[in-house]
């Protein structure tokens, strides 16, 4: 799963004390209006709603536009935000890539950080997206308990 580590960089890997999974908003612009349909041809910005691992402080930030092996981190300056795209693949997966550039591993490891590749615009990460409520403590979320959905029984998937 994609998460922020205590080094302020995003890595694909398991959650543990030094890395916490992230909860992203997919935004067409810095206003991040809810309810917009996102197409594969749309430029999106990714807003991480969570704070830093361990402390939870300084919540929120855009994933930045690091490229050519530099690891993507976060920024509060929308002009430095990375421009992403998301397209549907088969078997419930999505292709998370760059809008203008490709998105791939920044380093050779089992749990890589990510970077944009300006010379390879088609490279992307296959991910599974799990929709979660913006406010997990709202009473309106109770309906999720009784809908008969078996989506929580999935196994062997990668969450974004």
Q: How confident is the model at residue 157 (pLDDT cuts 50, 70, 90)?
A: very low
* pTM, full prediction: 0.82
Q: Mind listing the pLDDT tens digit for each residue in 112-136?
A: 999 999 999 999 988 888 877 777 7
Domain at 2-153: CATH code:
2.80.10
Q: Are 1 and 53 in contact (CB under 8 A)?
A: no
Give the span between the Cα atoms of 28 and 97, in whole angstroms: 15
Q: Is the pLDDT assigned to residue 147 strictly greater than 60? A: no
Q: Mind listing the pLDDT tens digit for each residue in 40-96?
A: 999 999 999 887 777 777 778 999 999 999 999 999 999 999 999 999 988 888 999
Domain ranges (residues) in the chain: 2-153
- Alpha-carbon torsion (134, 38, 9, 80), positive or negative: negative
Q: Is the pLDDT assigned to residue 15 strictly greater than 90? A: no
Radius of gyration of the chain (CA): 16
Q: Is the pLDDT assigned to residue 150 strictly greater than 80? A: no
Angle at 99 between CA 120 and CA 118, to 5 degrees: 30
Written as six digits, the tokens of 78 are: 């929308």
Written as six digits, the tokens of 116 are: 């944009």
Residue 35 CB neighbours (<10 A): 4
Written as six digits, the tokens of 83 are: 């421009």
Q: Is the pLDDT assigned to residue 11 strictly greater than 80? A: yes
Q: Is the pLDDT assigned to residue 104 strictly greater than 50? A: yes
Residue 69: name the closest of 9, 15, 19 by CA: 9
Helix boundaries (H) for 12-119: none
Give the span between the Cα atoms of 140 and 135, in whole angstroms: 10
């Amino acid at each position: 799963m994609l998460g922020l580590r205590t080094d302020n960089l995003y890595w694909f890997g398991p959650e543990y004390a030094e890395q916490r999974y992230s909860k992203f908003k997919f935004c067409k612009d810095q206003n991040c209006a809810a309810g917009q349909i996102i197409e594969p041809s749309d430029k999106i910005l990714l807003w991480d709603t969570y704070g830093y691992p361990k402390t939870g402080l300084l919540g929120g930030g855009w994933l930045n536009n690091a490229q050519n092996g530099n690891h993507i981190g976060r920024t509060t300056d929308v002009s430095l935000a990375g421009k992403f795209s998301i397209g549907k693949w088969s078997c419930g997966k999505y292709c998370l890539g760059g809008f203008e550039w490709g998105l791939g591993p920044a380093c050779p490891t089992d749990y890589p950080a990510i970077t944009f590749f300006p010379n390879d615009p088609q490279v992307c990460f296959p991910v599974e997206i799990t929709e979660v409520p913006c406010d997990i403590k709202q009473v309106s979320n109770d309906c999720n308990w009784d809908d008969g959905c078996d989506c929580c029984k999935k196994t062997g998937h990668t969450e974004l």
